């Protein structure tokens, strides 16, 4: 049971660390450069995608479609930078963790069976060695972990309105 708890903690570590990167200060938007692709979500859930132009203490401006759009600070719920995607990195990290966990689980749960007379298909563990069971577990864990890593939203949030 201790191994399962450790694996669960390791798999969950990237999520709290991502949550800490979200910034609640409007001043964080000063790190943006003109021309970067951003997404702005208003408090009424209207989305804007375009190229960042400028930010002031009162509003943020982006180029959306063929024109400039200005959104007042009090109407902005979230600003996300779309230029940096970490899906491949997340897939590799979660895939590696999943492969390790799967290999460990495969090896730990494998039962060596000694056959008297010819072995049959009734007991599939008869045909797998401990290392083969670990390899099968690693492949399954790699696939599952990579899928989860790729599915995690990967664009950094630059600004998010503070919850009251």
With a cut of 60, say whether residue 143 has pLDDT above it: yes
Per-residue pLDDT tens digits for 46-93: 999 999 999 999 999 999 988 999 999 999 999 998 876 666 777 778
Using alpha carbons, select from 54, 52, 148 the residue that is nearest to residue 98: 148
Which CATH number fits the domain 14-84+154-160, given the four candidates 3.30.710.10, 3.40.50.300, 2.30.30.520, 3.40.50.10470? 2.30.30.520
User: Cα separations (Å) of 39 from 49, 57, 89, 104, 117?
Assistant: 5, 19, 21, 41, 67
Mean pLDDT along residues 100-113 = 74
Query: In the chain, pLDDT over 70 holds for what percent of residues?
Result: 69
Q: What residue ranges do the domains of the chain occupy?
A: 2-12+86-151, 14-84+154-160
Cα–Cα nearest to 159, from 60, 45, 13: 60
Structure token pair of residue 76: 């902005």
Model pLDDT, residue 60:
95
List all residues 6 or more positions away from 75 whose beta carbon is below 8 Å from its beta carbon. 42, 43, 44
Query: Can you tell me whether residue 123 is helix, strand or coil?
Result: coil
């Amino acid at each position: 049971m201790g191994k399962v708890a450790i694996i669960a903690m390791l798999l969950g570590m990237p999520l709290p660390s991502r949550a800490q990167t979200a910034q609640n200060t409007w001043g964080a938007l000063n790190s943006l450069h003109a021309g970067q692709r951003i997404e702005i979500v208003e408090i009424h859930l209207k989305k804007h995608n375009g190229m960042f132009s400028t930010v002031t203490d009162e509003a943020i401006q982006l180029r959306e479609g063929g024109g400039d759009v200005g959104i007042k600070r009090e109407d902005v719920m979230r600003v996300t930078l779309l230029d940096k995607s970490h899906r491949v990195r997340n897939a590799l990290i979660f895939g590696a963790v999943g492969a390790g966990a799967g290999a460990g689980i495969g090896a730990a749960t494998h039962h060596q069976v000694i056959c008297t007379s010819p072995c049959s298909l009734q007991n599939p563990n008869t045909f797998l060695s401990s290392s083969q069971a670990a390899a099968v577990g690693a492949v399954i864990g790699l696939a599952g972990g990579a899928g989860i890593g790729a599915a995690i939203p990967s664009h950094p949030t630059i600004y998010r309105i503070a919850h009251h």
